[in-house]
Amino acid sequence: MKFFVDTADTTEIEALAATGLLDGVTTNPSLIAKSGKNFIQVIAAIAKLVDGPVSAEVIASDTRGMLLEAERLLGLGDNITIKVPLTMDGLRACKTLSDNGVMVNVTLCFSATQALLAAKAGAAFVSPFVGRHDDVGFDGMSLIADIRTIYDNYAFDTEILVASVRHPVHVLQAAKIGADVATMPPAVIRALANHPLTDRGLDGFDADWAKTGQSIL
């Protein structure tokens, strides 16, 4: 399973990239606004920090505008993935871009039939938002399972990029279903490494080691 970080904070991205565990980055207009930085500059900077795909989202709502914006964004790095919304215009833009060899991430997916359309449009990634789905009383993970079944039934190679991940249990469930990617806020990636018994165990080992008076080096 690939791990993407969902942020436009370059300090966080740099730190996570240094772990060797990071496979890519996703951003959206809200994350760009939160960063307080210039969109073009921050995407160019992120593209240099990681080797994997960096999703940059178009703002236009019509296909032509999306394609013009995509052209500008693709100039920012070889690893730019164009993120388009799951609308008819977005799907048309996805089809045109993917036919031309561009990686497209179709975002704001909330149903399995939407995901089916994204795959038919040649998307490299589809982003179902599990957290926002849960928030309104639906089961985000059953959406992931349905998409997995459909994609496997027809051997679509569109990758399921689980988005709007709020906690490690989302990652666990997505991995059990066989989702291809999870994009997470930096804090969720770090939380995956935490366990109170690991901390307690280390405290015990440190205390006992100190009693030996030894050192390894």
- Applying CB under 6 A, which residues contact ligand E4P? 6, 26, 28, 107, 127, 129, 131-132, 163-164, 183
Gyration radius from the chain CA atoms? 19
CB of 30 to ligand E4P, least distance (A): 6
CB of 56 to ligand E4P, least distance (A): 11
Helix spans in 100-195 (H) = 112-120, 130-135, 140-153, 168-177, 186-191
Nearer to ligand E4P, 6 or 159 (CB): 6
Pairing of strands 80-85, 125-128: unpaired
CB of 145 to ligand E4P, least distance (A): 19
> Any idea of the CA torsion for 31, 125, 178, 32, to the nearest 10 degrees?
0
Nearer to ligand E4P, 144 or 163 (CB): 163
CB of 28 to ligand E4P, least distance (A): 4
Nearer to ligand E4P, 63 or 183 (CB): 183
- The DSSP secondary structure of 30-88, one letter per residue, reads HHHHHHTS-HHHHHHHHHHH-SS-EEEE---SSHHHHHHHHHHHHTT-TTEEEEEESSH
> In this structure, how many other beta carbons lie within 10 angstroms of the beta carbon of residue 35?
16
Residue numbers annotated as active site:
83
16: Cβ contacts below 8 Å, ≥ 6 apart: 5, 22, 186, 189
Nearer to ligand E4P, 76 or 86 (CB): 86
